[in-house]
Amino acid sequence: MNNRLRALRAELGWSQQVLAEKLEVSRQSVNAIETGRYDPSLPLAFKIARLFGKPIEKIFIDND
Amino acid sequence: MSWWMGCNSAAGKRYRRRAFVSMLLYLVILFSCLKLVKAFPIHGWVLYALAMLPAVPVLAVLVFLARYLREETDEYLRMLTVRSLLVAAGALLATIVVNDFLRVIAHGSAIAPFLCFIVFFMSFGIAQTVQEMASRGAGDE
């Protein structure tokens, strides 16, 4: 699943570490999600959506 | 290896501390039991109890692994550990099967059964390292 996490993070000038701390996950998790190597669980996806103030479908793009 | 067993997470630190203490205890108990059995004529249930004692800290590490998986709040790190455990379980089963065919057909055992634990944890470590190498550099900042 593709996502706009890196772009949204860049807009706010946050590093992966800063975003990881705000989400209470490891920087490796943020990196894995951004690069599409890991799709987050629904609770984490909601947390990301709340943090950026956007609906989930504006951050995570369903390829199907 | 910044994420090895949730290196930066509190749960990962707790696991490593518990496992380290457990392995130290294992060495102390193992050598104490060996010395006791050699020095004194121990028989019966005491001998059985002494023989089983070194297995306790070794098995405790498996319990600590389960506790780590329950305590780890980072789902990605948890997923990596579960994946490594599956690889380790596969390596362990493969070793047991090959070893047993060697025992039954060729009438010889390639490795002592207690070494299976080492096979399990070596495979686990290799799987963790391979995953780390595969992810290194991919989008790192």
Residue-level pLDDT, tens digit, chain B, 141 residues: 445 565 668 899 999 999 999 999 999 999 999 999 999 998 899 999 999 999 999 999 999 999 999 999 999 999 999 999 999 999 999 999 998 888 889 887 778 877 888 899 999 999 998 888 877 766 666
* Sign of the alpha-carbon torsion through B35, B40, B46, B48: positive
pTM of the full structure:
0.83
Query: Between the CA of residue B80 and those of A35, B92, B124, what are the distances in Å?
Result: 16, 18, 11
Question: Quick one: B5 and B26 in the same domain?
Answer: yes
- Of B73, B101, B124, the residue that ends a domain is B73
Same domain for B65 and B78, yes or no, is: no
Q: How many other C-beta atoms can be found within 10 angstroms of the C-beta atom of residue B18?
A: 17
- Within this chain, do residues B9 and B54 fall inside the same structural domain, yes or no? yes
A28 in contact with chain B, both atoms CB, cutoff 8 A: yes
In terms of domains, do B12 and B48 share one? yes
Helix and strand counts by DSSP (H, E) for chain B: 5, 0
Q: How far is A58 from chain B (nearest CA, A)?
A: 21
pLDDT at A63: 73
Contact by Cβ (8 Å): B82, B106: no
Last residue of a domain, one of B73, B94, B122: B73
Over the stretch A43-62, which tens digit does the pLDDT of each residue have? Answer: 999 999 999 999 999 999 88
On whether both B68 and B87 belong to a single domain, the answer is no
B81 shares a domain with B62: no
Q: In which domain, by residue range, is B121 found?
A: 74-141
Q: Which residues contact B30 (CB under 8 A, 6 or more apart)?
A: B54
Average pLDDT over residues A1-30: 93
Q: What is the mean pLDDT of chain A?
A: 92
**Is B67 in the same domain as B117?**
no
Interface test with B, best of A22, A26, A35, A48 (most B CBs within 10 A): A26
Q: Scanning every residue of chain A, which has its alpha carbon at the shortest distance from the alpha carbon of B134?
A: A37
Q: What is the ipTM of this complex?
A: 0.89
Co-location of B66 and B89 in the same domain: no
pLDDT for residue B70:
95
| Chain B contact for A23 (CB, 8 A cutoff) | no
- The CA distance from B68 to B88, in Å, is 16
Q: Which domains does chain A have, with CATH numbers?
A: 2-61 (1.10.260.40)
Strand boundaries in A4-54, DSSP class E: none
Asked if B12 and B69 sit in the same domain, the reply is yes
- Structural domain tally of chain B? 2
Choose the closest CB to B135 out of A6, A37, A41: A37
Pair (B4, B44) in one structural domain: yes
Please check whether residues B16 and B66 belong to one and the same domain. Answer: yes
**B86 and B138: one domain?**
yes
**B20: exposed, middle or buried (C-beta count within 10 Å: 0-12, 13-18, 19+)?**
exposed
Kindly state whether B31 is in contact with chain A, defined as any CB-CB distance less than 8 angstroms.
Answer: no
What percent of the residues of chain B are helix, what percent strand, and what percent coil, each to the nearest 5?
80, 0, 20
CB-side exposure of A25: number of CA atoms within 13 Å? 23
Domain final residue, candidates B73, B96, B116: B73
